[in-house]
Structure 1
Amino acid sequence: MYATLLATHSIVRWLVLASLCFALYRAYKGWVSQSTFSEFDNTVRHTTVTIAHIQLLIGLWLYFISPLITYFFQNFGEAVHQREIRFFGMEHSSMMFIAILIITIGSAKAKRKAADKEKFKTMALWFTAGLLFILLNIPWAFSPLTSRPNFRAFNLF
């Protein structure tokens, strides 16, 4: 189950990034061109947050069954000094939670704005901040600090 959940978390990461990028495209385009905030824009906003929340739930589930996290808590004094263990035990989980919180707040604020330009602006600014948090805390395959493969295969056996 752990391997399947890990692969799912890896795949959903790309859905989060794609939906955030598309939402940001719509938000900046609408803000700059002073477009009407359409039902489609609202659906994009809502779908982006929903995908981010699904990823958060998968991440939390993974956090509580991960052997890496179990080791982190059982050997906290030693593990906190190991970059990779600390990254997943503290940094990745807390920063991703903050990123999802930022995106959620931005979505809620944008939803409540009266003017279309303000909806786009609010969504653009808050989603950009959330995306930056996410990009900085993904264990990219090219990262010299802590890396993981960009795509994980599902282990069927």
Structure 2
Amino acid sequence: MYTGLQHLHSYLAYLVLLGLLISLGAALAGYFGNKHFSTKDRKIGLLGLIPTHLQWVIGIILYFVSPLGMESASEGFMKNSVSRLYVLEHPLMMVLAVILITVGYSKAKRQVGTQNGFKSIAIFYGLGLILILARIPWISWPGN
């Protein structure tokens, strides 16, 4: 089970990044194109939100069943950069990213008909994407 979850979590990250890039690109195009945020644009925002939430749920499960997660939180784990990454830095940054992305979508969906929906998605999804990219464990990224 652990190996399957680990592979799913690793490869779903590609879908998360793709969804966030599509949503962010569409938001920037709409904002700079002086368009009004529509229901269609709100649905495009879901391309970033849904895979991010799915990834977060799988990550939470993995955190508690993985030997790299909660099990590694023993005395002195802060001195080991790899243990610190998996126990604290990666989970904390991903939770913050999910919160930012969720807030951005929640604000945007109430702004259909204005240009502010694009602005909300662009700002919050952009910040979430930066946090995700900053704390992906690149040492274990699929393909390395």
Please tell me the TM-score bracket, short chain as reference.
over 0.9
Q: Which amino acid is the alignment partner of residue 104 of structure 1?
A: T
2:37 and 2:111 in contact (8 A); partners too? no
Instruction: Give TM-score, length-normalised by structure 1.
Output: 0.86
Seen in structure 2, the aligned counterparts of structure 1 residues 114 and 39 have a Cα distance that, compared at 3 Å, is closer
Q: 1:38 to 1:126 in 2, by over 3 A?
A: same
The alignment of Structure 1 onto Structure 2 pairs a total of residues equal to: 144
State whether residues 23 and 44 of structure 1, in contact with CA within 8 Å, keep that contact through their aligned partners in structure 2.
Answer: yes
Which protein shows a greater Rg?
Answer: 1
User: What is the SS of the residue equivalent to 2:140?
Assistant: coil
Please list every run of 5 or more consecutive structure 2 residues that lacks an aligned counterpart in the other structure. Answer: none
The letter for the 2-side match of 1:41 is D
Equivalent-residue separation in structure 2 for 1:95 and 1:122 (angstroms): 20
Cα RMSD for the two superposed structures: 1.5
Residue aligning to 1:3: 3
The answer as to 2:104 corresponding to 1:106 is yes
Return the TM-score normalized by structure 2: 0.93
Dislocated runs of 4+, deviation >3 Å: none
Q: 1:70 to 1:46 in 2, by over 3 A?
A: closer
User: Which residues of 2 match residues 2-151 of structure 1 at below 5 A?
Assistant: 2-73=2-73, 76-113=74-111, 115-140=113-138, 147-151=139-143
In the alignment, the residues of structure 1 paired with residue 42 and residue 112 of structure 2 have an alpha-carbon distance, to the nearest angstrom, of 13
Query: Residue 10 of structure 2 aligns to a residue in which SS?
Result: helix
